[in-house]
Amino acid sequence: MYFQNINPQIIHSDCCYWILLVSIALLFLGASLAASLFLPDSLELRQIMQRYQDELEHNSTKADTPLRTRRAIGWSDREEILQLHNKLRGAVHPTASNMEYMVWDDELEKSATYWAEQCQWEHGPKNLLMSIGQNLAVHWGRYRSPAYHVQAWYDEVKDYTYPYPHECNPWCPERCSGPMCTHYTQLVWATTNRVGCAVHVCPRIDVWGEIWENAVYLVCNYSPKGNWIGEAPYQHGPPCSQCPPSYGGGCRDKLCYKDMNEVEKPQEPVQPRMTPTKPQPKPSSPKKPANANPSSTKTTKTTYLAQNIKCETRMRDKCKGATCNRYNCPANCLNKKGKVWGTLFYDVQSSICRAAIHHGIIDNNGGLVDVTRKDNFPFFVKATKNGVESFSKYKPGNAFTVSRVEEQTIDCYTTVAEICPFKASASHCPRYRVFCPANCINEPSYWAPVVGTNIYGDGSSICRAALHAGVIKASGGYVDLLALDKRKSYTGTLKNGIQSERYTSSALDSSLRFLSVTQFSGQEP
């Protein structure tokens, strides 16, 4: 057996060397295992995380998770915008007598958020622009608060000249000496009392042909909308001297004010109680036409716009002024004795109701008929139609035609001037009955104005004028209209929860027509 003497220090040195090698090997092995367990592909992991983040952001905007939705504007910015709006509105010159206090509206903020996220440097979306006002601003570079842009909108006042009442005849002139004044006029529009804004950082936005990156986009939506052509943004006078009645005389910082400014909500439980009680006596009036005596016809004439007639009534016997255009025929006229001359054009000695059956306007159940007169028709031709035989007359005479009473559904904002432009006074217009929807009483007076009492301007909302007159309820209904001669003045009153406006001006002679709004004769379908 062979033994070699070995130096102990050499052994110690060799041991340390091998221990170091083993440690390094274990370190590399551990690192490779960790990489294989946690980071098989860092790019793939980033993609997975990005998809998860996108899904999380998408889910957080759904309506069923409102608590996770991120608002598009901070609370401090919101308060600064609102306070600045009210400060500037109360400081207009000349002073405003009807400037309303403005509050924040969450729905307007949501619509502003949606549009800001589209990153389009234009007003929109188009389907909302008919019902809201909108101001836009965009910038990039150094930080600017939203209030900076609000002040910039107001500063357009330096280019704007306020139109005083004597300059509006009837439309106010639009005088802006700068590139734009509509931001200012929307901001100080007296009847605009709600605002909602949003701020969004657009990665890219096309601003008049130039691409801005990481631009800050501010959208403010307003309701009710302003900037109506031909009107002043507010009425001049002592502050709060012409506030709407709904504010109850409240005034704050020269603005029409009511606590919390929730004008509509306190009135909602009150108005439905008032509306049913006032029209309750009305149901008795439709019973009057059922009587066959002449007095009932006279009473109906003042209540309705259609004359109740008999089967034998001739056109020449029953044309009385403006109401000779529409008649209500009874049932069972098919086999009555009233004669009919002509086809399509009927002689004025013809029975109105039997001529209407002959032409197919009504059947034997009766109904409403519109009549149009025609002078000096050359001759009349016989025909048998719909069970009625007409006769010929080969000599000239006055004639008339019959037509069906058309129905049209309108909204709370429709005016007579829109559906039947003015042509001549005392003309029968429109040639149909209109149906008003429910809840028009809650629409703001600026969008749906009512001018006058009992006699209304043709720029008035048909449905709200009918509510004001008490001929329909808040639930809506049918309305008929009668054109009257022009008037130079009309009175304003508070009736059935609606405040109408008054006006006196010689300019009305050729600019406006006045209408009486009354309930339509007959049963509603």
Provide the CATH number for the domain around residue 218: 3.40.33.10
Residue closest to 367 by CA, chosen among 321, 407, 397, 399? 407
Mean pLDDT of 53-62: 44
Residue 392 shares a structural domain with residue 412: no
Residue 202 shares a structural domain with residue 141: yes
Task: Note the pLDDT of residue 385.
Answer: 92
Q: Count the domains in the chain.
A: 3
Residue 456 shares a structural domain with residue 475: yes
Element (H, E) at 358: helix 352-359
Give 108-148 pLDDT, tens digit per residue: 999 999 999 999 999 999 889 888 999 999 998 888 899 99
Q: Of 170-174, 229-233, 251-255, which gets the smallest average pLDDT?
A: 170-174
Residue 391 shares a structural domain with residue 311: yes
Residue 395 shares a structural domain with residue 421: no
Q: State the Cα angle at 39 between 38 and 41, rounded to 5°.
A: 145
Asked if 364 and 333 count as a contact pair (C-beta separation under 8 A), the reply is yes
Alpha helices by DSSP H, listed for 157-270, are 182-187, 264-267
Task: Tell me the pLDDT band of 11, cut-offs 50, 70 and 90.
Answer: very low
Where do we find the tokens 């979306």?
A: 125
Model pTM score = 0.42
Asked if 267 and 246 count as a contact pair (C-beta separation under 8 A), the reply is yes
Residue at 286 is within a domain: no
Residue 236 shares a structural domain with residue 214: yes
Structure tokens at 401: 């035609």
Residue closest to 465 by CA, chosen among 406, 524, 514, 521? 514
Mean pLDDT of 367-384: 88
Give 88-119 pLDDT, tens digit per residue: 999 999 999 999 999 999 999 999 999 999 99
- Residue where a domain stops, chosen among 242, 267, 292: 267
Residue 314 shares a structural domain with residue 255: no
Residue at 157 is within a domain: yes
Residue 373 shares a structural domain with residue 313: yes
Residue 104 shares a structural domain with residue 125: yes
Residue at 46 is within a domain: no
Task: Tell me the pLDDT band of 460, cut-offs 50, 70 and 90.
Answer: confident
Task: Note the pLDDT of residue 71.
Answer: 64
Residue 451 shares a structural domain with residue 388: no
Residue 484: which domain range? Answer: 408-519
What type of residue is 154?
Answer: Y
Residue at 493 is within a domain: yes
Residue 117 shares a structural domain with residue 262: yes
For residue 272, with 0-12 CB atoms within 10 Å meaning exposed, 13-18 middle and 19 or more buried, which class applies? middle
Provide the CATH number for the domain around residue 460: 2.170.130.20
Residue 248 shares a structural domain with residue 346: no
